[in-house]
Amino acid sequence: MEDDIPTDLWIYYCAQQLKRHWRTVDPEQLEELATDLACEAHLRTLSPRAAALKWLEPVLTPGEAR
């Protein structure tokens, strides 16, 4: 469980992970998305990286999830 990570840092690292997948998307939009993901209880219990990858699962190829 990642509750001991402050929310602002969780959002930052989640947005960074999303940026690895969507390099051309405005960083502010990715931060907004990460903020939305931080509000999802089942994702907030994961690390920021794991949460981003879980959310991205429908659009990732099997090799990208690593």
* pTM (predicted TM-score): 0.84
Task: Determine the longest span between alpha carbons in the chain, in angstroms.
Answer: 31
What digits encode the pLDDT tens for the residues 32-58? Answer: 999 999 999 999 999 999 999 999 988
Task: Give the pLDDT score at 1.
Answer: 42
Confidence class for position 66, pLDDT limits 50, 70, 90: low
> Is the pLDDT at 16 greater than 60, yes or no?
yes
Q: Which residue has the tokens 């001991």?
A: 4
